[in-house]
A and B are shown apart, each in its own frame.
Chain A
């Protein structure tokens, strides 16, 4: 119609051109055929579950003649509803990433020399088992420790449990959401889970405290967040940085870092004073309100203004917005909350604020978890033995509220360093960059020297892989089965399947197989009555009413959920007295503050800035940096610094600086991004970028990792969660520290005038655009 030429005749003509134009264009014409993607013989659409981050969206992979060509969101999946983020789309490129670990390897040179030999799986596993058993024999089973992460990490942490070692830890607790979960559990008797049960799309006011939704991407949550905003929700964004969320906010509160609890306490004070709380809910469903009232009496907006540098009037105005919108007020509980080492108390303050607004089980607030209507057959395996010795990280005793299922990574590192309370002599690191997740990587590095054996299991190499005695390459999430992913706290309950969508590309193995094979070599055959994980899933589902065939075909099976309370219905909270604990006797009994207090933070001091960090939308932790499709979007981090301060130090955008922390630890050169959208007393460094990865990766990079500069950290005495935002840094150019010549507050230059610095027109306004030189691709005529 448009051009009178059908695709068939079109191809025919191109054939003619190919033969006729042999002289000038033969090369390109023959490529033309390759260009028009060859009509594949076989196109398959296979559903599975994403693991580019831990949100686990439903995906559908398109595989043409055995090659994975693209990934789309699964429209049937209630979480991501047909959408996926940049990382999910880039799963294709992960499978074919050239830097993947491809064969099992055993180290042959000195540890850290980078000399390995490739070996068979049998040899690698026999060797690993032999080393682990040697440690067990000499020091006890418990002297073998594990760091794990991700969906396949569960298999290996189960294996350590079956073996009798209690010493495993994942960063998802102490470096991420642990303190939040503890704070909410202490208040409500349960946490909000992951995915969080927050009704963003129906909220009338959304309060984000340091949650950078939009840069921190979990697809289902962004769908709801943007729907909520489109439905007219007013957004309060509390962040020292002008985040993407702040750019959509009615109120941006550029808070002084570390003072969030003071702000929340002042909100509670104001809401109580204005009688803006939900009286019914407070009366019927909470305990400790009168203690709360007297506790917050002195925490007025004026008091908070001095601490937070947020005007009292703004605190009142935002408190008013929340009171007026209640109960459709969504106070986001946060996710990575490992900030200052008193984070449980901040989470408590946020949980209390939400409680007095009566948002539990309400539309636009926190929604409810349902009971899963199906039950799975359990494998007939022995119970795991009770470990003979206490875990070394103190989870559950030294840190009474730490979750022993996840453990405390940094405490495991410390115990390995000190070899106390008993020796830790082997580490297995499973799917985790321990140098980029656990603070003070120098300790982590040193601890490795105390080990008799150190193994790494991963999909792609990271800095800690370099020191491994054995490297076991794992399948990507697109090449393997994992256990069923069952979510009961969502708009619809669902079970989501991960299944291989493409044949494995290299000599890699799935996590379940690695755990099983190692387990069998450690004498744990009784725990592995299977050879194929697909059989396990079939067996689990056999009597559940969920058809494996349907799950395999659709990727997900859903069930209805009851997420809101009926009018007048009261909720049995999972606390001792079935009520929300505004005042926590549990904390009081263990010697902690029963009501949250603001703990003052130090000022950085002249020439120094507080180092804050966060995610960029196209990267997950350290997992995606080398993915070519994502790296081309953001290949290196830019250090955000307040524009006026930066100018006063003689800097321009994209200038390179060295960042040095209070302990004299330095980064390699980092480019800067100057903006009025950054508080003057802090700098922001995106997380997830390189350390000293050497050799194993095909591209070189600089040491621009935020975690490298986080040598100091606090530990929350309640949860064991780490506080990572306690480092101060200064900027150096040519070894000279830079000092701002002005004093600046958010509202302007307050002391000395900006002297000798011109307000330059910035040439390059964009900061992440790669020099994508299209012109250079234009061929010159011959």
Chain B
């Protein structure tokens, strides 16, 4: 089995935003949303020790993904290869997963009224093509591959010290790793620490999921799924750890 991961080589990245735009074009991501981002930080420090850093981010395809737990319909799930995906047909657009994600990786696509996020370009990957952001990266700063293969470049870079963006408080097993030899990654971590996942409260569950679903249920075809949602709901509530 494969286990996909990405390494961002911060030493190579020139903050050109090509990856962000390639992703927008491949997935019709409407402005101003994004599945993949480059946040440029102001150069800071004390001369001569100044750092100019950009945070290149995307869904971390977390091992212990709060979004999966928060999703009441099972639309968001983790594949066996570690890729966390959203089944658009099951997504009801409640947005609970957005609040659960520590990395701000999800948004509601207003055109389709469904949640969208990076899926590691899994359709491309399954055809043996690199993710779009990796393919376009003009600095070869994005390396995608299989962590289960010890000879893969990602495995080697991770062995050589590439780090995920986790904090003492939040570690949900992210699979995006950052390589950095200029002391820039700590700047990213300080500016963009993973947020504590906001898991759905019973009240939100009511307003965002159950009430709308009640109307659906009248439509008559959703009863079975309602049971599934409730199961998810309990699971999601109980076993999130911080």
Within 8 A of A (CB), among B41-67: 41-48, 50-53
User: Contact check: which of A25, A226, A747, A781 meets B208 at CB < 8 Å?
Assistant: A781
Cβ proximity bits B192-231 to A, threshold 8 Å, 1 near / 0 not: 0000000000000011110111011011111000000000
| Interfacial chain A residues near B17, Cβ < 8 Å | 86, 617-618, 633
A690 within 8 A of B: no
In the complex, whether B92 has a CB less than 8 A from a CB of chain A is: yes
Contact indicator B111/A84 (Cβ below 8 Å): no
Contact in complex: B219, A213 (CB < 8 Å) = no
Contact between chains at A16 and B221 (CB < 8 Å) = yes
Measured in the bound complex, the distance between the Cα atoms of B32 and A779 in whole Å is 17
Report the minimum CB–CB distance from A171 to chain B (whole Å): 24
Chain B residues whose C-beta falls within 8 Å of the C-beta of A83 in the assembled complex? 18, 135-138
Complex formed: what's the CA distance from A229 to B109 in Å? 39
Tell whether B236 is near chain A: CB-to-CB under 8 Å: no
A-B pairs with beta carbons under 8 Å apart, 28 shown:
A2-B77, A10-B89, A20-B219, A20-B220, A20-B222, A21-B216, A21-B222, A35-B88, A36-B88, A70-B22, A84-B22, A84-B136, A89-B18, A219-B138, A226-B141, A247-B50, A247-B53, A633-B20, A633-B21, A676-B47, A765-B41, A767-B41, A774-B33, A774-B106, A778-B99, A779-B93, A782-B212, A782-B215
Binds B, one of A26-34, A510-518, A657-665: A26-34
Residue of A nearest to B108 (CB): A777
Bound Cα distance from A226 to B10, whole angstroms: 11
Q: Which residue of B lies closest to A221 (CB)?
A: B138
On chain A, the residues within 8 Å of B95 by CB distance are 777-779
B113 touches A779 (CB 8 A): yes
Asked if B125 is at the interface (CB within 8 A of a chain A CB), the reply is no
Q: Is A693 in the interface zone, CB < 8 Å from B? A: no
Contact A24 B14 (CB under 8 A): no
Distance (whole angstroms) from the CB of B11 to the closest CB of chain A: 7
With CB as the reference atom, state the residue of chain B lying closest to A25. B216
* Distance A550 CA – B15 CA, assembled complex (angstroms): 35
| Interface-located stretch among B23-31, B145-153, B167-175 | B23-31
Contact A629 B138, CB 8 Å, known A14-B89, A765-B42, A781-B207: no
17 extra interface residue pairs, beta carbon distance < 8 Å, beyond A230-B12, A617-B14: A2-B79, A17-B89, A24-B219, A32-B88, A35-B114, A69-B28, A70-B25, A72-B135, A88-B18, A629-B24, A632-B31, A633-B17, A774-B108, A775-B98, A778-B95, A778-B99, A781-B94
Please measure, in the bound complex, the distance between the C-alpha atom of A767 and the C-alpha atom of B208, giving whole angstroms. Answer: 34
Whole-angstrom CA separation of A768 from B37 in the bound complex: 12
Give the distance in Å from the alpha carbon of A772 to the alpha carbon of B15 in the complex: 19
Count, chain B residues at interface, CB 8 A? 81
Q: How far is the CA of A252 from the CA of B51 in the complex (A)?
A: 12
Chain B residues with CB under 8 Å of A778's CB are: 95, 98-99, 108
Within 8 Å by CB of B111, from A35, A223, A230, A775, lies: A35
Task: Tell me the nearest residue of chain A to B192, going by C-beta.
Answer: A766
Alpha-carbon distance between A633 and B15 when the two chains are bound, in angstroms: 11
Decide yes or no whether A780 CB sits under 8 A from chain B.
yes
Tell me the bound Cα distance from A192 to B43 in angstroms.
33
Closest to B9 in A: A230
Q: Which A residues fall within an 8 A CB radius of B? A: 1-3, 10, 13-14, 16-17, 20-25, 27-28, 31-32, 34-37, 69-73, 80, 82-86, 88-90, 92-93, 213-215, 217, 219, 222-223, 225-227, 229-230, 242-244, 246-248, 252, 254, 617-618, 628-630, 632-633, 653, 673-677, 746-748, 762, 765-770, 772, 774-775, 777-782
For A768, the chain B residues whose CB sits under 8 A away are 39-40
Q: Determine which of B12, B32, B207 lies in contact with A772 in the assembled complex, contact meaning CB atoms within 8 Å.
A: B32
Give the residue among B28, B79, B139, B207 with the most A Cβ atoms within 10 A.
B139
B87 part of interface (Cβ distance < 8 Å): yes
A247 touches B43 (CB 8 A): yes
CA distance A673 to B44 in the complex (A): 11
Q: Are A85 and B88 within 8 A (Cβ)?
A: no
A residues less than 8 Å from B222 (CB atoms):
20-21
Complex: A746 Cα to B49 Cα, angstroms: 12
Give every chain A residue within 8 A of B22 (Cβ-Cβ). Answer: 70, 72, 84, 89
**Cα of A774 to Cα of B209 in the assembled complex, Å:** 19
Q: How far is the CA of A72 from the CA of B19 in the complex (A)?
A: 11
Residue in A25, A229, A677 whose CB lies within 8 Å of B43 = A677
Beta-carbon nearest neighbor of B116 in chain A:
A35
Q: Would B52 and A247 count as touching, CB distance under 8 A?
A: yes
Give A617 to B48 CA distance when docked, in angstroms. 24
Whether B139 contacts A222 by the Cβ 8 Å rule is yes
Q: Which residues of B contact A70 (CB under 8 A)?
A: 22, 25-26, 132
Shortest distance in angstroms between A768's beta carbon and chain B's nearest beta carbon? Answer: 5
B191 at the A interface (CB under 8 A): yes
The residues of A that contact B184 with a CB separation of less than 8 Å are 247
Contact of A777 among B18, B107, B140, B220 (CB under 8 A): B107
Complex interface: chain B residues within 8 A of A2 (CB): 77, 79-81
Q: Are A89 and B32 in contact (CB under 8 A)?
A: no
- Complex CA distance for A638 and B96, rounded to whole angstroms: 36
**Chain B residues with CB below 8 A from A80, complex form:** 138
In this assembly, does B110 line the interface, its C-beta being within 8 Å of a C-beta of chain A? Answer: yes
Across the interface, do B88 and A92 meet the contact criterion of CB distance under 8 Å? Answer: no
The answer to whether A226 touches B12, judged by C-beta atoms less than 8 angstroms apart, is yes
Query: In the complex, which residue of chain B has the Cβ closest to the Cβ of A773?
Result: B32
Complex Cα distance, B44 from A242, in Å, reads 10
Closest 6 CB pairs of A and B: A20-B221, A35-B112, A677-B43, A214-B14, A778-B95, A781-B207
Query: How far apart sit A724 and B129, CA to CA, in the bound complex (Å)?
Result: 46
Asked if residues B18 and A86 are in contact (CB atoms below 8 Å), the reply is yes
In the complex the two chains form, what is the Cα distance from A3 to B47 in whole Å? 54
Instruction: Give every chain B residue within 8 A of A35 (Cβ-Cβ).
Output: 88, 109, 111-112, 114
Once the chains bind, are B47 and A1 in contact (CB under 8 Å)?
no
When chains A and B are docked, how far (Å) is the Cα of A746 from the Cα of B88?
A: 54
Which of chain A's residues has its CB closest to B34's CB? A772
Q: A172–B182 Cα gap in the complex (Å)?
A: 36
Q: Given that A20-B219, A72-B136, A73-B136 are known contacts, is A37 also in contact with B28, CB under 8 Å in the complex?
A: yes
The chain A residue with its CB closest to the CB of B211 is A781
Look across to chain A and name the residue whose beta carbon is closest to the beta carbon of B106.
Answer: A774
Q: Among the listed B21, B45, B104, which residue makes an inter-chain contact with A630, where contact means beta carbons less than 8 Å apart?
A: B21
Partner of B136, one of A31, A89, A243, A782: A89
| Known pairs A34-B112, A772-B34; A24 contacts B212 (CB<8 A) | yes
Q: How far is the CA of A229 from the CA of B98 in the complex (A)?
A: 38
A767-B215 Cα distance, complex, nearest whole Å: 44
- Would A92 and B191 be within 8 Å (CB), given that A28-B114, A676-B43 are in contact? no
Q: Is the CB of B44 within 8 A of A676?
A: yes
Contacts of A244 in B (CB 8 A): 14-15, 52
Task: Determine whether the beta carbon of A23 is less than 8 Å from that of B93.
Answer: no
> Is there an interface contact between A230 and B11, defined as CB atoms closer than 8 Å?
yes
B139 touches A24 (CB 8 A): no
With A and B bound together, what is the CA distance between A677 and B11 in angstroms?
19
Residues on B with C-beta less than 8 A from A225 are 14
Contact A628/B31 with A16-B221, A35-B112, A226-B140 known, Cβ cut-off 8 Å: yes
The reply to whether B108 and A779 form a contact with Cβ atoms under 8 Å apart is: yes
**Cross-chain contact of B140 among A223, A254, A767, A781 (Cβ < 8 A):** A223
Which A residues are CB-close (under 8 A) to B18?
Answer: 83-86, 88-89
Question: Which B residue sits closest to A22, measured CB to CB?
Answer: B219
Residues of A within 8 A of B106 (CB): 774
Cβ B11 vs Cβ A248 within 8 A = yes
- How far does the alpha carbon of A674 sit from the alpha carbon of B45 in the complex, in Å? 11
C-alpha spacing A206/B87, complex, angstroms: 49
**What distance in Å separates the Cβ of A203 from its nearest Cβ neighbour in chain B?**
16
Across the two chains, which residue of chain A brings its CB closest to B14?
Answer: A214
Q: What separation, in Å, do the CA atoms of A675 and B44 have in the docked complex?
A: 6
Please tell me if the beta carbons of A23 and B216 are within 8 angstroms of each other in the complex.
yes
Given contacts A70-B26, A83-B136, A770-B32, contact A748 B47 (CB under 8 A): yes
Contacting residues, chain B, for A617 (C-beta < 8 A):
14-17
Kindly provide the distance from the CB of A524 to the nearest chain B CB, expressed in whole angstroms: 41
A767 touches B46 (CB 8 A): no
Report B34 CB to chain A, min CB distance, Å: 7
Contact B138 A222 (CB under 8 A): yes
